[in-house]
Amino acid sequence: MFNCYGCTCRTIPLQERSRAVSVVFGGLAFGSVLGLLFAPPIIQNLGWESVFYIFGLLGIIWCLVFESVQELQPGDNEDILNLENTSAGSNGHISSSVPSKSSDSSLEEMTDSLKDVPWGEFFKSKAVWAMIYTHFCGSWGHYTCLSWLPTFFSEELNLNLTDAAWVSILPPLGSMVITSIAAPFADNLISSGVDTTKVRKICQAIAFLSPAAFMMLSSVDLGLPPWVVVAFLTGGISLSNFALSGLYCTHQDISREYASILLGITNTVGAVPGIVGVALVGYLVDTTHSWSMSLFAPSIFFYLTGTAVWLTFASSEPQDFNKLASESLRESNQ
């Protein structure tokens, strides 16, 4: 995914970036749908452990197939990664004279290139810190809901395991629909001359405020029938996919050269809620016996604070981190 993400910022123009990023990340929602559909019958017939074995095995197979396809076309990666040094032939295809390298030399070059990355300048940027915190906040809501909504539907809405699983596929299905709307919406605004930073802020605000509002409605005891609660949560989580046209495009906006590394940084922090958040929700459910306090309240908190940080500090203005690093080094030597 990181390779695809890095390639889109080099090959896709700004006015089409949201659609490209949505395509790259669209597999997440599709995979969630398939997982929620197939997991319950697998658990009922083969036991809960089998889900991990089967899905893990499928992941290994997919990885091997992907690697074999790459080996069959050894020149493609060099063509993409060295796009600035390539030229288009008369037939429109990209050609490159970059020779293939051994794995040892490639590993050595990668190590040397990582040493040249201006890590310090990344963490001096307010925009980067805004992306880090926003990614954390969005991941908290995503991972905790993905993990606990089936249980919430089962225990709180009295749906059986199979019905809860079927209901749980509605948010990712809705996500695919919203993504197909949000991406053209953002790209069309940019094409019409709206400032890119403003577009990213609008999209990310929709992505956070929508689920926060619907979670508030779902957490308050209004005597709503189960299908209304399901509709609220489905709508809110689906609208959170506006983030693909907000946060997830901003790494590319501020640095085409280091977009993949910036995504790696924010995504690493964003993975923390998948460990801490999911476990904490389970602990809170056991101790408080309240889904509102355990699942919804923390997510609402992070959605609201994430929105505030994003609207205040986010920026899509390109930043030359190498130049900033050189200037810092020059000042320190004076």
Alpha carbon separation from 121 to 17, 126, 219 (Å, rounded): 25, 10, 42
Give pLDDT, residue 95: 39
Residue 79 contacts residue 94 (beta carbons within 8 Å): yes
Distance from the Cα of residue 47 to its chain's centroid = 31
Q: pLDDT in tens for each of the 334 residues of the chain?
A: 555 555 555 566 676 777 777 777 777 777 777 887 788 788 888 888 898 999 999 989 988 887 787 666 545 444 444 444 443 333 334 333 444 455 455 555 555 556 678 888 999 999 999 999 999 999 999 999 888 988 888 888 887 766 666 777 788 888 888 888 999 999 999 999 999 999 999 999 999 999 999 999 988 877 778 888 889 999 999 999 999 999 999 999 999 889 889 999 999 999 999 999 999 999 999 999 999 999 999 999 999 999 999 999 999 999 988 887 776 667 766 6
Assessment of whether the complete model's pTM goes beyond 0.85: no
Q: What is the DSSP annotation of 129-141?
A: HHHHHHHHHHHHH
β-sheet bridge partners, residue 94: 88
Burial class (CB in 10 A: 0-12, 13-18, 19+), 193: exposed
b vs e for 10-41, b when ≥16 Cβ sit within 10 Å of the residue's Cβ?
A: eebeeebbbbbbbebbbebbeebbebbeebbe
3-state secondary structure of 160: coil
Q: What's the CA gap between 236 and 105, in Å, rounded?
A: 48
The pair of three-digit structure tokens given for residue 179, joined into one six-digit string: 């993504």
Domain boundaries, the chain: 125-323
Closest CA to 8 of 324, 265, 256, 330: 256
What confidence score (pLDDT) does residue 165 get?
Answer: 63
CB contact set of 25 (below 8 Å; sequence gap of 6+) = 1, 244, 248
Residues 6 or more apart in contact with residue 224 via CB below 8 angstroms = 217, 218, 232
- The strand ranges marked E within the chain are 87-88, 94-95
State which fold the 125-323 domain adopts: Growth Hormone; Chain: A; (1.20.1250)
Q: Find out whether 204 and 242 touch, Cβ atoms under 8 Å.
A: yes
Tokens, residue 4: 């695809």
Q: What are phi and psi of 13, to 5 degrees?
A: -65, 160
Both tokens of 216, joined, read 């508030």
Contact 244, 178 (CB under 8 A): no
Closest CA to 8 of 66, 91, 80: 80
d(CA 110, CA 224) in angstroms, rounded, equals: 56
DSSP 83: G
* DSSP of 259-321: HHHHHHHHHHHHTHIIIIIHHHHHHHHHHH--HIIIIIHHHHHHHHHHHHHHHHH-------H
* φ, ψ for residue 7, nearest 5 deg: -70, -35
